Amino acid sequence: MPADRRRRPREILVTGGAGFIGSSLALECQRLWPSARITVLDDFRSGDFHNLEGFQGDVVAAAAHEYRGGPRFDTVFHLASLTDTTVHDQLAMVRDNVEGFRRILEIARESRARVVYASSAAVYGQASARMDEEMTPKPANVYAFSKAVLDNLGRRAAADGLRVTGVRYFNVYGPREQHKKAAASMIYQLFLQMKAGKRPRIFRPGEQTRDFVHVNDVVAGTLLAAAKGANTVYNLGSGKARSFNEVIRILNQAMGTKLVPDYFENPYGFYQEFTEADLTRSRRELGYRPAYPLEVGIPDYLKALGA
């Protein structure tokens, strides 16, 4: 995973660091900067200690909105969040996501720290064209709404002098997501079904598309945002929408199977039929170049799963 080595953080906080992307990021920071002091903050409701195998830093077991701070950090990666889009408890979602970020911004302001926070492609809502960062947010569920509010808070904090960059993750998949179970990526869900010899179940007609992006790519982009990012938001995706039918074809190829999809009707009214990241800004300002198209990323993931 490439990163700009000109900027070497000394004191790093990774919130949500026992989660899927957070643990991958914390371990990559440890690899890149072995002399840095890295603190993981996680309340372990959706994180898992197995994800931190080999981690040599500190772990604080607390929610972001309850955290009272530790050493003076120079870099804060804020990934802690309720990420299950099927959660409809608006109070819980907004309290955890919004108030957690507000607290992290306070800590960063005290430390004069660089902040990179996780936003989401979900803020774009229903769209039929490539999604660029200047599009007006149209969140279709409370999770997406909470992420749109984070973007608002980030802009306000930047206007007040804090260095704040948002990264909008698209449909991330890859190692260390298995603990998420039903909330893990569709690529993982389909793999489990096919490994069990079952036909992979997807919404009819399977031509709905997603910008599937490997976790290694978003970690690399997040580190680039810390090194080079302006006070704005950046899309981190693959830059290419792929259908669920294509995903199943590539899984079949990688697994040596010939399972045909089991189509069923979509019961969700807020479902995104299409996501695709416009990477113009990320490429120009960060030098972000995703390296894992599905034809590379899925076999890499299956290898990590021991399949």
- Active-site residues: which are they? 143, 180
- Return d(Cα 226, Cα 5) in angstroms, integer: 11
Nearest 10 degrees: CA dihedral of 180, 185, 187, 189? 50
- Return d(Cα 221, Cα 210) in angstroms, integer: 19
Check residue 62 and report its DSSP letter. Answer: S
In residues, how long is the chain?
307
Give residue 247's Cα distance to chain centre: 19
Kindly state the tokens that stand for 136. Answer: 């007006």
3-state secondary structure 158-226: HHCCCEEEEEEECEEECCCCHHHHHHCCHHHHHHHHHHCCCCCEEECCCCCEECEEEHHHHHHHHHHHH
238 and 212 Cβ atoms separated by less than 8 Å:
yes
CB atoms within 10 A of CB 185: 21
ω before 205 within 30° of 0 (cis)? yes
280 and 135 Cβ atoms separated by less than 8 Å:
no
- Return d(Cα 274, Cα 200) in angstroms, integer: 20
Structure-token match 């804060």, residue found: 76
- Between helices 294-304 and 186-195, what is the axis angle to 10°? 60
